[in-house]
A and B are shown apart, each in its own frame.
Chain A
Amino acid sequence: MSEILSAKEQVPEVTRRETLVRLGVGSFALAACGACLFGYKFLSPNVLYEPSTVINLGQPGRFSPNSVTADPENGIYAVHSAEGFYALSAVCTHLGCLTVWKPDASLIACPCHGSKFDRHGIKLEGPAPKPLPWLKVWLSDEGDLMVDRGAFIPPNQYIRT
């Protein structure tokens, strides 16, 4: 008899009200977590109607030797150098403004905060923390010059035709 009593003493007393309150608070917390997840998932678009990152630049012959061609619609530069073709991102590495090619000074300049780059994307001056990234370039089966502006590659890789 005494054993049973001592075991009973160790069990903490939980009233019916406390149990119901815990159940209520617990289910409310669970619902709140669900609502947060719901909100997060709802706010993240599942389908983005953004343009493809792959750009067809056409036949390589249209780029004259030793030229930098800006494509502001796609935010890239197509460069035809003595070593071959390569493409640079035209999006400034500072805060994402679109840079412009200045043929007179032979450099790439950002109108927002004054960063400057050379035709290899190397930073010359300004607040930009990194050089302009080189982009993946390849030739399609039709011989068109293709660029993926979402795929960054290490610099100094050229495409020869």
Chain B
Amino acid sequence: MMPAMEGYWNQLRRTRVWKSVFRSGTGTSNLHRSQVVQQSIFLHLLAVKVRKRAISFRVTWYLGTLSTATFAILVITGIPLMLYYHPSAPQAYADMKDLQFVVTAGVFLRNLHRWSAHAMVLLVFAHMFKVFYRGAYRTPREFNWVVGVILLTLTLFLSYTGYLLPWDQLAFWAITVGSNLLSAVPLVGEKVRFLMLGGHTVNANALLRFYVLHCVILPAVAVMFLAIHFWRIRKDGGIHTGELKAAVKEDIPHA
């Protein structure tokens, strides 16, 4: 940062308003730096200190961060798409076509949403394999692996519910086939399919239910589990670097 800019920056951080929002103040000591993390609701999920090795590319390939980034893109592009989309049959198909050909930047948002969705599924799987092959699922991180499995399931279900929303032939038959797969589950399969579709066939009820699941329920649940997932990384001793457990404990105070 340029010296003049840094002057303004420090001046801003000394103001009463700034201090009322960010209690950590202006210092550059390690104490102040850790306070910045501890006193922010967004940062406090993360560790105050990490070892250099834990943030090197080769340890994680940043797959978890990239998965989160695609999720952020999906939320940011998904909300504006909702403004031009009615979850009703057959209007949904026309709205999707309007987004492609009539709405300014509609095709950009739609395609970004679509490609990010594909990328997220890919990245979440890659993340799982990376964690698996590095043995990062082992004690004390076994619960975070379970949370990861829940997040993988949520990712797939988000992908599946989004599949129906264009309300075209591909969507209709994909959900017909998928929901018929579900009905093969012993005892409860048929009933679960009926509740999920809100009827016996893929129809207007199914479209509305999938829309609510896709836009409200599943993202909300995913955000909750993401928070647990990130918090557990810190609580379980930081990112697994493949070093001895004893070394991890010594390296990270207040983990």
Q: Please report A residues at the B interface, Cβ cutoff 8 Å.
A: 40, 43-45, 48-50, 95-97, 112
Q: Please report B residues at the A interface, Cβ cutoff 8 Å.
A: 173, 176-177, 179-181, 194-195, 198-201, 203-205
Residues from chain A with a CB closer than 8 A to the CB of B200 are 48, 50
| Chain B interface main SS type | helix
Chain B's closest residue to A98 (CB) is: B173
Residues from chain B with a CB closer than 8 A to the CB of A112 are 173, 177
Return A37 CB to nearest CB of chain B, in Å. 13
When the two chains form their complex, are residues B199 and A95 in contact, meaning their CB atoms are under 8 A apart?
no
When the two chains form their complex, are residues A50 and B176 in contact, meaning their CB atoms are under 8 A apart?
no
When the two chains form their complex, are residues B173 and A50 in contact, meaning their CB atoms are under 8 A apart?
no
Chain A's closest residue to B178 (CB) is: A95
Residues from chain B with a CB closer than 8 A to the CB of A49 are 204
Q: A44-B195, A96-B180 are in contact. List 9 more A-B contacts (CB 8 A).
A: A43-B195, A44-B194, A45-B198, A48-B200, A48-B205, A95-B180, A96-B176, A97-B176, A112-B173
Residue from A50, A96, A97 in contact with B199 in the complex, judged by beta carbons closer than 8 Å: A50
Residues from chain B with a CB closer than 8 A to the CB of A95 are 176-177, 180-181
Known: A50-B199, A50-B200. A45 touches B177 (CB 8 A): no
Cα–Cα distance between A147 and B177 once the two chains are bound (Å): 25
Return A14 CB to nearest CB of chain B, in Å. 37
